Amino acid sequence: MGSKYTKRYTEEFKRDAIALVDSSGKTVTAVARELGISSESLRGWYRRAKADRGEGAPGELTSAEREELRRLRRENREQQQTIEILKKATAFFARSAVGDSLAFEQAQAVAEEARAWRGANAFRLVRYLSDRPDALSMPSSDCPTCVVRLLVALTAAGHGDKVTLVACGDCGRTDPLPTNNGPEGRLCSRCAGRRAKKPCARCGKVASIYARRPEGGICNPCRDKEPDAKE
Ligand SMILES: [Zn+2]
Ligand SMILES: [Zn+2]
C-alpha cells in the first residue's frame, strides 16, 4: 500500500464515498475517517461532484468547463508560440532582403506593422518568402497580401531602396495598395471594382454583377424587378 498522499482511488470508489456523505448525513470528516482516507481528498471530490451537478458555489466551474478552459488555454499557448515563430521567420526574411542595416527588433516591428504573421496568411507569407530569395526586391504579382503590406512597412522604415513595392496589375499604381486578387495578379480596389463590372445578361448595361442566373450575371436593378425580389 502506498502512502495516502500518492494513492489513486477509482472513480467508483469516489462516487461511493460521495454518496455515503449524502446518504449518511455525517460530515465529510467523519466519513473520511471511517473510510480511512484524507478528509481533504473527500472534500475535494465532494465539492467537484456538487459543482458538476450545478450545485457548486457561484462561479465554480464544472469538470466539463474546467476541461474546456484547459483546452482553450493550451490552444492559446500554441497559437502564441506559432505567432512568435512566424514573426521571427518574417523578420529573418526581411533582414536577409534588406541586410544588417535592419536590426532584428526593427525587422520584427516591421513584421508586426505589416500584420504579416496572423493565421493562414502568415504561413503563406513565410512559405512565399522561403521559396524566393528575391521575394522582397522582385515580388511576383501574385504574392500574398501580407507581402504587399510588408514591403510598404519596410519602405516606411526607410528601406525603400532595397525593396520593390507591388504595383496594381491594371493601373500600375502602388497606392492604393493592390490588396485584391485579380486573375493575373494583384489589383488595387479601384481596378478590382472596375473589373468586377460586366454587361448585365438581361439589360446589357455594364454594372456590378449582383446575382447569377442561368443566362448569366445580372445587375441589381434587374434583380429588383424579379417577382420574388420584394421580401
Ligand atoms: Zn489599379
Ligand atoms: Zn441589368
Report if residue 84 sits inside a domain: yes
Residues 160 and 120 placed together within one structural domain of the fold: yes
- pLDDT number for residue 231: 53
- pLDDT number for residue 165: 95
Residues 156 and 107 placed together within one structural domain of the fold: yes
Report if residue 157 sits inside a domain: yes
Rounded to the nearest angstrom, the distance between the alpha carbon of 211 and the centre of ligand 2 is 10
Rounded to the nearest angstrom, the distance between the alpha carbon of 22 and the centre of ligand 1 is 74
In which domain, by residue range, is 34 found?
Answer: 11-60
Report if residue 17 sits inside a domain: yes
- pLDDT number for residue 2: 44
What predicted TM-score, i.e. pTM, was given to this entire model? 0.58
Residues 85 and 50 placed together within one structural domain of the fold: no
How many CA atoms lie less than 13 Å away from 207 in the CB half-sphere?
17
Residues 134 and 209 placed together within one structural domain of the fold: no
How many angstroms separate the CA atoms of 229 and 218, rounded?
A: 13
Final residue of a structural domain among 144, 166, 188: 166
- pLDDT number for residue 230: 58
Task: Tell which phi-psi region holds residue 99, choosing left (phi > 0), alpha (psi between -120 and 50) or beta.
Answer: left
- pLDDT number for residue 7: 63
Final residue of a structural domain among 166, 185, 212: 166
Q: Quick one: which ligand is closest to 217's CA?
A: 2
**Which residues of the chain carry a pLDDT beneath 50?**
1-4
Instruction: Give the total number of structural domains in the chain.
Output: 3
Residues 55 and 83 placed together within one structural domain of the fold: no
Task: Tell which phi-psi region holds residue 115, choosing left (phi > 0), alpha (psi between -120 and 50) or beta.
Answer: left
Show the cell assigned to 175: 497606392
- Is-contact 39 33, C-beta < 8 A? yes
Report if residue 189 sits inside a domain: no
How many angstroms separate the CA atoms of 100 and 162, rounded?
A: 12
- Tell me, rounded to whole angstroms, the distance of Cα 179 from its chain centroid: 20
- pLDDT number for residue 149: 92
Report if residue 176 sits inside a domain: no
Residues 156 and 215 placed together within one structural domain of the fold: no
Rounded to the nearest angstrom, the distance between the alpha carbon of 204 and the centre of ligand 2 is 6
Residue with cell 448595361: 205
Rounded to the nearest angstrom, the distance between the alpha carbon of 193 and the centre of ligand 1 is 9
Using DSSP's 3-state secondary structure scheme, residue 208 falls into: strand
Report if residue 174 sits inside a domain: no
Q: Quick one: which ligand is closest to 193's CA?
A: 1
Report if residue 116 sits inside a domain: yes
